[in-house]
Chain A
Amino acid sequence: MKKLISIVILISIVAVSAQAKFGMQMRLRSEMQNLNSTDADKQVYERRVDVRLRPDISYTINDYMSVKAVFEIGDIQYGSEGGARDTDGKNLETKNIFIDIKPTKNHTFRLGLMPYKDAHSMIVDTDLAGILWMGQFEKYNVEFGWFAANDEDEKYLSDETYSFGTSLIALNQMFTMNKYIKLGVSNLFVMNREEYIPGVNRDYVSIFTAPRVVLDFGKFNIDGQFIHNNNFADYDEVEDNPLYVNQPWDPDKTGLGLSVKSKFEMDSKTTFRANLLFRGCYENYENYQGYKSFYDTGLEIINEDANGISSHNPMNAFVVFYHNILTGESYNRQLGVVVPSVFVDWKYKENIIFTGGFGFILNDQSYDKNFNYQLVNNWTEVSINEDMFIAWEIDLKAKVVMYENITLLPYMAFFVPTDNFAYNTIYYNPEDGSFDDTTNFKDGEAATDMQMKVGATVKYNF
């Protein structure tokens, strides 16, 4: 009886302390790579080490209310950005901070800065401010939210108030048909208003519809998400502006995306995986673009969400810089891509898994890639290779779990491009908008040398 009372008292104390929970995620990445080299004869191997901490506090006041805050310190790059000599960087950011209100155990209302994503992170995977309802029913789960992605304030124009910025309406649904099959659909409505010119607003609506099927047959499972995206722009002349004559060329766009991830557990040690990413459509300016994707192909270089630091992002990096001599207009032409990949995971020990991966990337169709290119002061049409194949990649990596909470991820990845890759990525730098006409194209030859990266990532959950 005494023991029982003691246990009850002890549990009470633990329960009190359980109200407030502290934790922290740490990530340390170290990498050497030459993915940014633009000259086949002058390959530059860049080295970088960075560290990121995410301390979190969650606080439960009662069955109905809890608060969680996640901060982010970093990424602190060794030698710069608060990681240089003397350190002392102002690098504590608020990543998430939200309150959960649970009127019943099956329904939660979340309010604040929260993470939000679709199942495959092809549409949106980011942190947003808003309100989200998460409901659980017998075989049906639903998330419905409103988010303010960007608020550019209001203006009073022609006796009316116009709000500028971006709002999102999100709906995720999942229905469990039986123990083998789940069906779902994600919807995201993006509504944006900006001032095109004074007195003329541009209203832009983007609608994502993504049906999903999950099949789980024990050793074999497959998860597929198809995405249809429509984009509409409309110009609203709210005040007379003599500069505005006609709506500019801003056509409706449609994009299609597909993500399939499958896994087959051959035995207790060996697992095969096969993934497929497709994004594209009919026209070369209408390829699928996520709203704020963070897609993981499983590879280390052709990926948006890799373990390492640098990568070639298949969701937006494979573009052609285009300049029209007649209109003077310059822009990035998005190209559709297909990324199939296969992997073998071998469990050497309970805490050590080796993985070999192979994948390639190609355009979804043969694009007309002729474009106008400036040679010194003269614009010349350059005809480039119209191959669909862009590159292939081979990876070797491991996952080692030490002391239960430390995960070590060493990796080595090789990327073998074709001429097609050089024209797609090396010429134009989308980060700073610059393009280099002094290296790749001065002799008409592309940088086709193999690229590689080698590194290790350490993750620790406190």
Chain B
Amino acid sequence: MKKIVAFVVVLLMAISLSAQFKTGMAFRTRAEMFSMKESEAVWRRITDLRFNPYLSYTQNEYLTAKLVFEIGDIGFGNVAQGGAIGTDGINVETKNLFLQITPNKNHTVIVGLQPYKDFHSILLDTDIAGISWKSKYALSGKELTSTFAWFVSSDEDEALVDETTYSFGNTELVADFEYQLNDKMKVGVNNIMEFVRKPTTDVNIHLTGLNLWSAPYFAGTFDKFYLEAVLGLNNIRPEYEGLNDVNVDGQYTPEHSGILLSLKTKYDINEEAAARFNFLFRDGDKEYLGGYASYYGIKSYYNSGLEILTEAGCGLDGKDQVYSPLTYYPNYPSSITDANVNVINGHAGIILPAVFVDYNATRHVKNSMSFINNLKLSMGLGYAVTVQEILRVGSDGMLRPESWIGTELDIKAEAKLWDELYFTPYFAILFPGEWYDYEGGHDPFTKIGLSLKTNLK
């Protein structure tokens, strides 16, 4: 009997210990060959690795700590990233480190470096330091979820000016709400208010700002049809503040607003085939002395579903990005210095419809390759134009108003090997429109590669 009791005690301790402490690791490797530069058809080749080991420790039902490291991206052969011969790179980064307090099952407070993203990643999708409070309530029998947060995206210290202390940097206040209308529909809104203070070249003039983002969204399932829609709105209100009686009349950055619409749909044709349609609209502005009136996020990471005209594809996003749908794009040729050429800053905007066809081919390979648990083949076609016609300059020096960015064709396979290994080969080609190919003969932008991902728990 004593042995049994002793064993049970040891067993309970072991289980409780193992339950308290959890580890895991996410792994991603990508190999890609791509030709994405507008100026020359250089084919770059990059292979990289990224590991995200994590630890979480649950002290009790109220308190949990989580730590996520990021090792990478380590480019093969890259000295700066620790991937060259001899390795030994100093490349272990702290991605997340936070304390999660759960006073009861309906409220969670997270303090520390934490991930945050809005519904379609058009406002903010990143890791950020701060405090967030997530709550659940019952409203008319349905669940209402709210998230309030205070984040500090940038702290640039304080300065004593005009006998007063001023803080520099950016601070964000978040207020998100989501309401479950019924089992198949939900509505919500992501709101961010950002406070900005930046020094200028004149120590007595500060750029201050109160920037607002609001993005109501809807998601619903209607039998075989699924729909997600987000309307993004932003209002940027920069102001110049003169200290020590300095006049700021000469400073000019106008208040401006932007709008974005993101639509993602899916229709299940049958058990194996599905069709998707995505649509992105982002307004543009080509006004002289401005061009600001275009939507942009604080740090967006938008996935259009395509591989080139996207911010979050399978491949090496951001490397030689030919046209990013959301980030800043200088919508004038850099060789033009003539201020009379319309736009100085801002974004030309984008209209990007894309259709996809997915086919689940698992049954065709399961017998011959039993290690493939799931295989999905996809083909995508996207067509992008700018909202505003922008004067583009050719090698002949001629300026022409253009709007057609190009047409993209993607072919992709997503295979799930064994339990947790995801293998994704892809090929994407963007046939340049007149935006790039005003004189004809421009090589297409192309990327071909594969990614391998797993999450070890």
User: Which residues of chain A have a CB within 8 Å of any CB of chain B?
Assistant: 2, 6, 9-10, 13, 16-17, 20, 57, 59, 61-62, 64-65, 67, 69, 71-72, 90-97, 99, 101, 103, 111-113, 126-130, 147-156, 161, 163, 165-167, 292
Contact B456 A127 (CB under 8 A): no
Contact A94 B456 (CB under 8 A): no
Check A129/B421 contact, CB under 8 A, given A13-B14, A95-B87, A150-B84. Answer: no
Contact B11 A92 (CB under 8 A): no
Instruction: Identify the 9 closest CB pairs spanning chains A and B, nearest first.
Output: A151-B77, A148-B77, A148-B76, A156-B42, A127-B87, A129-B76, A149-B85, A161-B43, A156-B40
- Taking a contact as CB atoms closer than 8 A, the residue among A17, A69, A92, A156 that contacts B51 in the complex is A69
List, sorted by A's number, 5 A–B pairs whose CB atoms are closer than 8 Å.
A64-B418, A97-B74, A113-B82, A126-B85, A165-B77
CB distance from A108 to the nearest CB of B (A): 14
Q: Whose C-beta in chain B lies nearest to the C-beta of A91?
A: B90
User: Total contacts A to B, CB within 8 angstroms?
Assistant: 147
Say yes or no: is B454 at the interface (Cβ < 8 Å to chain A). yes
- Taking a contact as CB atoms closer than 8 A, the residue among B41, B53, B83, B86 that contacts A292 in the complex is B86
**Inside 8 A of B24's CB, which chain A residues have their CB?**
59
Say yes or no: is B452 at the interface (Cβ < 8 Å to chain A). yes
Contact A113 B15 (CB under 8 A): no
Contact A151 B87 (CB under 8 A): no
Contact A93 B90 (CB under 8 A): yes
Say yes or no: is B91 at the interface (Cβ < 8 Å to chain A). yes
Contact B454 A57 (CB under 8 A): no
Say yes or no: is B4 at the interface (Cβ < 8 Å to chain A). yes
Contact B420 A94 (CB under 8 A): no
**Inside 8 A of A113's CB, which chain B residues have their CB?**
49, 74, 82-83, 87
Contact B18 A17 (CB under 8 A): yes
CB distance from B420 to the nearest CB of A (A): 6
Bound together, the chains give a CA A398 to CA B90 distance in angstroms of 35
Bound together, the chains give a CA A16 to CA B7 distance in angstroms of 18
**Inside 8 A of B421's CB, which chain A residues have their CB?**
64-65, 101
Known: A93-B87, A161-B42. 19 other contacts (CB 8 A): A9-B11, A57-B53, A59-B456, A61-B456, A64-B421, A65-B418, A65-B420, A65-B454, A67-B456, A94-B82, A97-B51, A111-B29, A112-B49, A129-B49, A148-B77, A148-B83, A150-B84, A156-B40, A292-B85
Check A69/B77 contact, CB under 8 A, given A129-B87, A153-B44, A292-B85. Answer: no
CB distance from B424 to the nearest CB of A (A): 15
**Inside 8 A of A156's CB, which chain B residues have their CB?**
37, 40-42
**Inside 8 A of A71's CB, which chain B residues have their CB?**
92
Check A151/B452 contact, CB under 8 A, given A67-B25, A163-B45, A292-B86. Answer: no
Q: Whose C-beta in chain A lies nearest to the C-beta of B452?
A: A111
What string of 1s and 0s marks CB contacts (under 8 Å) between B8-42 and chain A?
00010011001000011101010000010100111
Say yes or no: is B419 at the interface (Cβ < 8 Å to chain A). yes
What string of 1s and 0s marks CB contacts (under 8 Å) between B53-93 and chain A?
10000000000000000010011111100111111111110
Q: Whose C-beta in chain A lies nearest to the C-beta of B75?
A: A151
Check A93/B371 contact, CB under 8 A, given A127-B88, A165-B77. Answer: no
Contact A90 B18 (CB under 8 A): no
Bound together, the chains give a CA A111 to CA B83 distance in angstroms of 12
Say yes or no: is B300 at the interface (Cβ < 8 Å to chain A). no
Bound together, the chains give a CA A128 to CA B82 distance in angstroms of 10
Q: From A17, A93, A113, A128, name the one whose CB has the most chain B CB atoms within 10 angstroms.
A: A113
Query: CB within 8 Å of A: which of B150-173?
Result: none
Bound together, the chains give a CA A95 to CA B91 distance in angstroms of 10
Bound together, the chains give a CA A129 to CA B77 distance in angstroms of 7
Q: Whose C-beta in chain A lies nearest to the C-beta of B48?
A: A129
**Inside 8 A of A155's CB, which chain B residues have their CB?**
42
Contact B18 A94 (CB under 8 A): no
CB distance from B232 to the nearest CB of A (A): 36
Contact B88 A93 (CB under 8 A): yes
**Inside 8 A of B331's CB, which chain A residues have their CB?**
none
CB distance from B441 to the nearest CB of A (A): 13
Bound together, the chains give a CA A269 to CA B240 distance in angstroms of 86
CB distance from B429 to the nearest CB of A (A): 17
Say yes or no: is B262 at the interface (Cβ < 8 Å to chain A). no
Contact A92 B88 (CB under 8 A): no
Say yes or no: is B47 at the interface (Cβ < 8 Å to chain A). yes
**Inside 8 A of B71's CB, which chain A residues have their CB?**
69, 94, 97
CB distance from B19 to the nearest CB of A (A): 11
Q: Whose C-beta in chain A lies nearest to the C-beta of B40?
A: A156
Contact A62 B418 (CB under 8 A): yes
Contact B53 A69 (CB under 8 A): yes
**Inside 8 A of B41's CB, which chain A residues have their CB?**
156, 161
Bound together, the chains give a CA A103 to CA B370 distance in angstroms of 11
Bound together, the chains give a CA A10 to CA B4 distance in angstroms of 13
Check A129/B86 contact, CB under 8 A, given A65-B421, A154-B43. Answer: no
Bound together, the chains give a CA A9 to CA B4 distance in angstroms of 13
Contact B49 A59 (CB under 8 A): no
**Inside 8 A of B92's CB, which chain A residues have their CB?**
71, 92, 94
What string of 1s and 0s marks CB contacts (under 8 Å) between B266-298 and chain A?
000000000000000000000000000000000
Contact A166 B27 (CB under 8 A): no
Contact B88 A94 (CB under 8 A): yes
CB distance from B24 to the nearest CB of A (A): 8
